[in-house]
Structure 1
Amino acid sequence: MQTQTRKIKRIIKGIDSQDGAGVKLKRSIGQRQHLRIDPFLMLDMFSSDNPDDYIAGFPPHPHRGFETVTYMLNGSMLHRDHMGNEGLLNTGGVQWMTAGRGVIHEERPQQESGLMRGFQLWINLPASDKMKPAAYQNIEPEQIPVIQSDQATLRLVAGELEIGAKVYKGPVQGIVTQPVFIDISLKPHSQLVLPLAAALSGFIYLFEGEALLQDETLQTDAAVELDAGEQLSLATHAKSARMLLVAAKPLNEPIAQYGPFVMNNMEQIEQALRDYRDGVLAG
């Protein structure tokens, strides 16, 4: 049977937005409820060399019912949470936080000038895991496998990738939605074919240069949802390109969301609000 190559299913263009204490960003996935890609709830990209756009950071705030992933392309940010975790997120590093039952954390820029650029992704948890204890992983840049060829450089943050006879594994493992998270850099006049399990839904976010997916031009600053298939075919012409490939197992469950709380129904949302008000959200 011939392997099916994925095409573009939908384009979710990033729009200017703000979050935290006024951090300026572009929000694609999650800007509207119908603009989600199960199990992905939200995707923000922040990029500015103007400290007024990011210096206030994200003061203490709660989460329940999902996971947050912060991937730093440039800059430095400090994470602290109610569990006593503290991690410095530097260029190329990742913070992978499972909010579960509840977490209260803050993220503070550790620079007063220069470029701060990166992504924050929200990944839903299944109903069975929404109230499990919170967990936090701070992944240093050197922990991320780098796979290089004449045409491409891949940084494998999460999941597994089989290239030739070798299987590479990212540092993030054991996540229920089986995520794949890859930072892909392509040189000019290059081609790259990657396997991607048919059971996973996902997207590509092109943030530098120009590239094609199965002969279709990828938009920049947009979450490009992938259609069905078992592999990707990427290419560049005269310009290089850099993009994220993110995929995971869809949950196909109802979603009830109120700000930083994501559950399956409104009764659970109301309970989360009561727990936060009563100081027992993180239990």
Structure 2
Amino acid sequence: MANLRPISRVVQGQRMKEGAGVTICRTVGTSMLRNLDPYLMLDELKLPAKAAFAGFPDHPHRGFETCSIMLEGKMEHRDSQGNHGVIGPGGIQWMTAGRGIVHSEMPGTTDGVLWGFQLWINLPKKDKMCKPRYQDYQATDIPVVESAPGASVRVMAGEHAGTAGPIKMRNPGLLMDVRLAAGANFTQEVPEGWNGFAYIYDGEGKVCGTKAQPEQALVLGPGDHVVATGGSGPSGLKFLLIAGKPIGEPIVQHGPFVMNTQDEIQQAFRDYQSGALQRPEDNPWKGEEL
């Protein structure tokens, strides 16, 4: 590792409503940063559970993947294939929508705080119509690496200090939850040519020399590694580090459908309206081997 990745831009999160009127904070997927190939969107949900009770009722997806990460509270998943699961605190759900699925995400509790994230990841053209696949991990499935004094890293995908995360990805990438005490340091290799960003969700500090505060996405410039330091406050610095190999294909997005052409988007709408996305398949979540 020789070239530190500078921060090329800082994107402030924007408040908006999704689902049944639930307020979220969005960085990737706004007018300030429409996408960062292969990433399409990042939302943070942080509300009293009672304020988010309306949740995210049935809605379709096609052509990409979603990753839901919970810090606090529970989210319940149900879909048109008959699948059902609950993500608890620290849990992750990685869903490859592929050729299509209709699902709902609803709060699994009315107590306490509901705090988590949803990341949308594009699929290459060759995989957009693949069979849906589901990966469900609870907190105990995620390795935690204490790579330096005061530095704790939950490795969800990719590798940190020789420890690999459990998520199996179609497109090479990394996904980490980094938690630094005041003054603690973190270093991570991020391959040349990959796009990436750090999303700050608590505390303050510096990422690659740039001041970092909550509800900001710090976009990485060219280089081969990142560094971060926890600020002096009691929360230190906590952030998601997200990076991946660009796909380099046209992105045509209309709401919950992400394809390569407008004709493919129109076909997705026709398939949804005809009920094709709601028909159960045999063992849909087993999908193809990666």
RMSD: 1.4
TM-score between both structures, scaled by the size of structure 1: 0.94
TM-score between both structures, scaled by the size of structure 2: 0.92
Indicate the SS of the match to 2:277.
Answer: coil
Count of equivalent residues: 276
Within 5 Å, which residues of 2 pair with 1:94-173?
Answer: 94-148=92-146, 149-161=148-160, 163=161, 167-173=162-168
Q: CA deviation at 1:214?
A: 2.5
Per the alignment, residue 76 of structure 1 pairs with: 74
Q: CA deviation at 1:50?
A: 5.7
Note the alpha carbon deviations across 1:55-74, whole angstroms, 9 max, x for none. Answer: 01111110000001100010
Per the alignment, residue 223 of structure 1 pairs with: 217
Cα distance in structure 2, aligned partners of 1:55 and 1:271: 33
Match of 2:268 among 272, 278, 282: 272
What is the letter of the counterpart of residue 207 of structure 1? Y
Q: Is the 8 A contact 1:85 1:136 kept in 2?
A: no
2:23 aligned with 1:24:
yes
What is the letter of the counterpart of residue 44 of structure 2? M
Cα distance in structure 2, aligned partners of 1:233 and 1:22: 37
Match of 1:234 among 228, 231, 236: 228
Q: Is the 8 A contact 2:171 2:245 kept in 1?
A: yes
Q: Is the 8 A contact 1:71 1:93 kept in 2?
A: yes
Per the alignment, residue 284 of structure 2 pairs with: none
Cα distance in structure 1, aligned partners of 2:265 and 2:219: 28
Cα distance in structure 2, aligned partners of 1:3 and 1:220: 28
Indicate the SS of the match to 2:271.
Answer: helix
What is the letter of the counterpart of residue 262 of structure 1? V
Note the alpha carbon deviations across 1:77-101, whole angstroms, 9 max, x for none. Answer: 1111122221111000001000000
Q: Is the 8 A contact 2:39 2:122 kept in 1?
A: yes
Q: CA deviation at 1:34?
A: 5.0
Per the alignment, residue 46 of structure 1 pairs with: 45
Between the aligned residues of both structures, percent identity stands at 40
Instruction: List 4+ stretches of structure 1 deviating above 3 A.
Output: none
Indicate the SS of the match to 1:281.
Answer: helix
When residues 44 and 34 of structure 1 are mapped into structure 2, their CA distance, relative to the original with a 3 A threshold, is: closer
Cα distance in structure 2, aligned partners of 1:212 and 1:281: 44
Q: Is the 8 A contact 1:44 1:119 kept in 2?
A: yes
Cα distance in structure 2, aligned partners of 1:151 and 1:126: 38
Per the alignment, residue 36 of structure 1 pairs with: 35
What is the letter of the counterpart of residue 86 of structure 2? L
Within 5 Å, which residues of 2 pair with 1:242-261?
Answer: 242-261=238-257
Note the alpha carbon deviations across 1:129-178, whole angstroms, 9 max, x for none. Answer: 000111111111100000014220000111222x2xxx2111102x2221
- Unpaired runs of 5+ residues, structure 1, are none
Q: Is the 8 A contact 1:57 1:107 kept in 2?
A: yes
Indicate the SS of the match to 1:46.
Answer: strand
Per the alignment, residue 283 of structure 2 pairs with: none
Match of 2:208 among 207, 210, 214: 214
Q: Is the 8 A contact 1:101 1:282 kept in 2?
A: no
Per the alignment, residue 3 of structure 1 pairs with: 2
Q: Is the 8 A contact 2:67 2:92 kept in 1?
A: yes
Cα distance in structure 2, aligned partners of 1:245 and 1:123: 14
What is the letter of the counterpart of residue 7 of structure 1? P
